[in-house]
Structure 1
């Protein structure tokens, strides 16, 4: 016998999103979801996307006691409880018996698998979050044929700010479907939401109150504090772990006593932010608006330019001069600046690289490369032996004199740190002109989130690893005496040693886990911080034992861990 629901779904797939279509006996919510599923090219087979999930989140901690209670009450009903995070991944599953667990495993209805509507199409877990309402999906109403033997009712879970943070579902075989499943899903969702509200910090509620003013605004807006960020729909593209940490550094570096509003360009983007601080007692949070930069924006006098991590000086020397100098401390990204200069100039020729050492530099080879049309990079000129300076000066002079007559010859790039270079070399740098300057990471910590993203993309092109907010915050707090080179080495070691897909603070070297906040600590705070570190080490990381050793309450210890930059918690909604 023909299944009319399956036939209706197949007809919509045939006619497409622009074709004429009218379904009978199919709820509008299901048809809307089918259309979205077709638009996103959702999978029609069982879910394949998998990632390791973190159960120690605010959502998980709020949901587990509720799931424990309902699992016991539903033990003999043949239904299964599912909890998904905001991304649609199942983070907890409570099946009634081993036979049902095996059946669900066969269709990948298990922890870690992606049941977002974008991934697997119409299904209760994912569709309820998109629709922001409880839904019941039965049999062939599922977009995926692999789920057609199931019935599932789900309801979204809301934060105190009214944001969907996940969903809860009751599912089972199609022949066990019952309308009461939808009522139970609503009730369980409400109970988890109540626990989220009860566990919310006072500052979370303050954030929510600020956010509600902008939740329906068409202006991209986010509200954030150290641990949380809320975004309206236009503001979602600007939110990520890296942007949260970077913005927090930028906003805290501003002198709010002298100016109640910050307006500034964000380095490496075509974005401008306008921000203000909202105080709630001794705590504060920020409201940030985003705007795309217009070409003339950079000339507005009231826009604060981003600190120059790499500042280019196109008027000083052009590549037509044959020589380009990048000045900055060692490890601050000078070689990357050279790469950026070459990209800016459209240099597609080969780049030969030499690092200065006590051994004599092969100047003849350098000349051959340049005359042959290759660009040459001489790194760390601050280490050039004084006896080789005349040869450098001669090479540079010949390059500058012959460049106009030999348009196909290469460009000589030099990286140096004038603060540690020979005075004779510094004098010549002034006459050659410095093409770009780089600064130390300690002076521009807001660069670190973007650099971490860039380095991870280079080291891990398959995106097998990501970094938690807490771990990224620790990287920002460290002063990086070895600059970018030290950051690259640290991330390389982490990728090689961490087996999990998520790099957490606990995986970082000890000195990074205990990196002090960038704000200046008083003598009392420094002593307190050292005492807490010793107590945590003695207690093996157990906070209850550490609090007893310190003679303070556990709640007090949690608060001081956050305030002193020692909180190793990875949890997030």
Structure 2
């Protein structure tokens, strides 16, 4: 290499757990070595420099010449062997002397890197690095870096304790003020009171906890409904807890919205065309939509993208009002004026109407739609049309918007991760379409699909199965036949680059029969790197 090829990241995160804890620690320790020709550097877990303290002006200029400065990423894959990137690769503190650097321009430096991990979870957060000119190399560099990393961990632990204490305080207060079920949720904390355990069986508790986890990181209060496996509808009210502007977590109060004795009969599954699933929660949702359609009660159908809202509406309408016109109009593809015109035209001829993706409409367009529907309500004959808004309420529409007053009922379609037990039936159904019934899936492969979070919901599952059907036109699908993304169980959303890395790792493992060393060699990476990526991506092989 002629010079380091460190990528530059324009926007660095300013308010992370690592940055907050490290700032006072490194400032204090930098003051201790202010007169020394040493630079104290903090990076994140990718090797991107977040902070740099350098008292020696000559050294600062020299570091700038090799881009060892805030915003630049010193990963081993980009600049070769160095105290930051190599420490990340091997997962241990180390000292890199000048002649050990791969890059010629870096051989004038010696550097010591020590990992900073979260004291509670063990998650890798970043690296503390001390860099000096090669002539000043001293084994104390590594000792000082390890001391700085240890102090940062202590500071994180103190902050974590403070946040957890605040969350615990609000949890106890909520339990004392109410006899209802209460749950506390934080980054590493999940607590539920005895009332929650008494009120809900184990399956309902699991569904509530799963839905509660979705609130992690939310900084605003909100209320949502959760249809539980038993048929109960629970109202979950979330209130965040803050400490000096920092989010500690939140308190979720749970209230039973529909008593079990009064829920719809979910024991007999309804046979709706193209609608698949036999879990209690899914049957409860389907029957609820059919029941509302039967009564022609205006409905808001809420749910994440890809959960099957439009398919469910079409199937329920066909089941209940077969032969009656049903105009399904997409707010995401129609101009607002055109949408209103088509809604008016459909209602004029007595058609039932569904406006899907209504959450993308601006407030003034929603108000215009509200006025139009209000007129229909006042002027329509006794044979009132069925009107539905399909939306994702938390992504655009305020729950106080006047249009919602026209719709007495809201049903939430659960995300696929809340009824994973329906995946085998969905797989059979979609493979039957994609491969004309000539392909089946083994139990092991189906179980692997049930380990995924499916953030794209049923639409995502269908896309995956369609792709499998194009590649495999007969026989039994085994785990190794699944696409790379199905071998990763990480819950976080991957960037495009991370997804490409994950696919490359899975393909290499498949090619070499799961041999991690051989897979690493074929990818040109170290064994430490492939083990880290397998762990980070949750690769199962």
TM-score, L = length of structure 2: 0.42
1 or 2 for the larger relative contact order (CA 8 Å, sep ≥6)?
Answer: 1
